[in-house]
Structure 1
């Protein structure tokens, strides 16, 4: 199927389902963490613009800062997540159209988008964004490997358009996977074993495009681990020492349910606290640096 036609079909399919969600759906974040990270980024929690988003790599926050300075009234954090989902769905639909042909490809692309549009568009969250970005990037990278000989027929491999088409899946695939690692490091890591397993199934094609594969994987792993190390180093500073001490017990109490609540209530009362204090502790994440303070 021609490149432009496949891309157009995929865009139209995704725009259609996105429009349905916008017109008839109730759009919101799928996790409370996204609300707090968006508020933290905009400075709504008593700080200036703060790109240190705790669960999402700070690089994403830094990338959005110029947009917040130019247009502060727009929720760029949310728009960025929605755009990542739209881009990922478009890439997956494009691959289905290219590999399955116009008829079956269009059916499969529409079916895929119809099945997952409500989960991703209506209740978008950073973990889902990381998963779909990583999956789309891995599929596109693999598509670039197996379609190396299809971009320039009759041996015309030196024309500019043919070279762009040959390199584009690798470049965009790596970029999508890096974006996925930024949105949620653990989700990106969970997809890597399946990515490596998939490459083993097309090992012969990988060897034919070995230089593209080696360069792409080298950039991917170097970039992903470097960005993760950069983000982790931020929270090793003295400014986050109290947060790091508090975060571990907060996760145990707030995110887990494998403890005796009645015993905790009794211990809280002995400390002069109440059940309401415990309830707030388990339901809120303390990002606000002015209103909420660490109790020593």
Structure 2
């Protein structure tokens, strides 16, 4: 205990604690990407296609370039995962460091235990780049606030916070701004502190705050400009226009077919084609061009803020918060802090402001039509928890309840909030990558043919784990017929290699092209309707429920 008291405020102690927690989690649980988006990004940046490319669309070009350089220097290292783990370790270390230095009460140990356990599991075991962005941004801004009010080690703490914020911004800039809005509540006590210092004619805190804000703004602004410049070419501008409208349809929904049949008829899209496209098979560059998708999207009702929208939001929130796993952690952190401490007026103002910001943020997400996504919620509720912890230091730490009962409820909240823990245990993890990996290797070995893969037939996420290294060029003869990566210049190089312009049209009668499909009847009906009424599918191989066909 004396050793802990002596060293708990040192940076290396926080790093040691979180390093041990990371190791423990990796020993107990098997990590996995939460969504297949990370695998798509990994394939682009590591050279799994014809060549590595730093244009990752959703991730900043500067970070993409860093990843490309790492893979070029040592292709046998899983850089994409390792860099995420490295910066996440830095984020949780920063949170621990600030808590142990700012809060004298031993109550912080129980709060930290809950926050670190729950959010580290989300970060390390269910890896996802948007979630990583949220955690880094919240932790970086938490450290930033502490750096501003620091009387010592200002430069080191500021540099650490800028580093985390920069990576958070690069992983997903919209997530960074969301966390910045929430963490601004922690700035209210900082502003009051600055005012008190100015009254005492001590302006150093104000200088530190303004300096920090200026540096952070320059760094974020520089990264933003660098990313914009990287996409100024015509080919990437065309893709971004395509991806914007594709996102509107695939992330926010298609207009219903029956209700908008006239629109679809005018675009010569029948019900079979509609179902094919909704299954993410939108790779027909003629029938699902940017202009066609814009016409489809324009049939959707315009989003407006009206009584119906507000009523629907009030009906769902805040009740829906209880369905969010990490909300339970925030709730127990708040209750524990409330029951074991007192809060100043400025802290109450900060917490009220935070509550308003949370409700406004979820209203915006509800208005957009995409809400209650775990990868987004984790960052939001980590930021909210950190705001509570920041203000907890304003109290005196006086107990008004039985500590044992509070700790029991806190521990229960951790367990209840993480219902996926059991399924991720290494003894229970059921992922078998061998079959899909063997299938991909078999397709790759046949370089004479281009394999067009319908969505759901070939998945690198089901063939390789977080720490697996995918051989370069493994997908240089594979082209997915949908997904956000499909029409990128990186992927279309594969089509150019085989002289293909429109994969749906050009697969007919082309001996160099095979189609990998689980629903060949739907595909053939589509081809009969739009390209060749006499086309026939010849099965050349089969892999379980997936067939490989040549279209004659």
TM-score higher than 0.5: yes
Conserved? CA contact 1:13–1:109, under 8 Å = no
Alignment partner of 2:114: what SS? helix
Q: 1:67–1:111: structure 2 CA closer, same or farther, 3 Å change rule?
A: same
Aligned equivalent of 1:237: 233
Alignment partner of 2:493: what SS? coil
In the TM superposition, residue 261 of structure 1 has moved relative to its aligned partner by 4.8
In the TM superposition, residue 60 of structure 1 has moved relative to its aligned partner by 0.5
Conserved? CA contact 1:99–1:105, under 8 Å = no
Aligned equivalent of 2:32: 28
Tell me, which stretches of 5 or more residues in structure 2 are unaligned?
A: 195-202, 283-454, 456-482, 506-552
Aligned equivalent of 2:174: 186
**Root mean square deviation, CA, Å:** 2.8
Alignment partner of 1:280: what SS? coil
Alignment partner of 1:61: what SS? helix
Aligned equivalent of 1:214: 210
2: CA distance, partners of 1:44 / 1:6: 42
Asked if 1:54 corresponds to 2:57, the answer is: yes
Aligned equivalent of 2:161: 173
Q: Which has the larger radius of gyration?
A: 2
Deviation digits for residues 89-136 of structure 1, max 9, x if unmatched? 111011111122384333332221112122111111111111111111
Q: Among residues 36, 40, 45, which one is paired with 1:41 in the alignment?
A: 45
Deviation digits for residues 198-232 of structure 1, max 9, x if unmatched? 22322244454222222211111121022112212
Tell me, which stretches of 5 or more residues in structure 1 are unaligned?
A: 152-164
2: CA distance, partners of 1:251 / 1:62: 24
Deviates more, 1:100-109 or 1:236-245: 100-109
Deviation digits for residues 221-263 of structure 1, max 9, x if unmatched? 1210221122122223112133123212311222123521555
Conserved? CA contact 1:97–1:109, under 8 Å = no
Aligned equivalent of 1:227: 223
1: CA distance, partners of 2:25 / 2:8: 26
In the TM superposition, residue 138 of structure 1 has moved relative to its aligned partner by 1.1
Conserved? CA contact 1:130–1:188, under 8 Å = yes
Aligned equivalent of 1:156: none
Deviation digits for residues 4-43 of structure 1, max 9, x if unmatched? 6543442333223312321222212223221111110012
Write out aligned runs for 1:131-280 (5 A): 131-148=134-151, 151=152, 165-206=153-194, 207-257=203-253, 259-261=255-257, 263=261, 269-270=269-270, 273=273, 275-280=275-280
In the TM superposition, residue 291 of structure 1 has moved relative to its aligned partner by 4.2
Aligned equivalent of 1:162: none
Q: 1:268–1:128: structure 2 CA closer, same or farther, 3 Å change rule?
A: farther
Q: Normalised by the size of structure 1, how large is the TM-score?
A: 0.83
Conserved? CA contact 2:138–2:180, under 8 Å = no
Aligned equivalent of 1:98: 101
Aligned equivalent of 1:76: 79
1: CA distance, partners of 2:85 / 2:174: 20
Conserved? CA contact 1:34–1:126, under 8 Å = yes
2: CA distance, partners of 1:13 / 1:291: 46
Asked if 1:85 corresponds to 2:81, the answer is: no
1: CA distance, partners of 2:31 / 2:494: 29
1: CA distance, partners of 2:127 / 2:9: 29
Q: 1:128–1:294: structure 2 CA closer, same or farther, 3 Å change rule?
A: farther
Aligned residues: 280
2: CA distance, partners of 1:104 / 1:147: 22
Q: 1:55–1:227: structure 2 CA closer, same or farther, 3 Å change rule?
A: same
Q: Normalised by the size of structure 2, how large is the TM-score?
A: 0.46
1: CA distance, partners of 2:28 / 2:147: 37
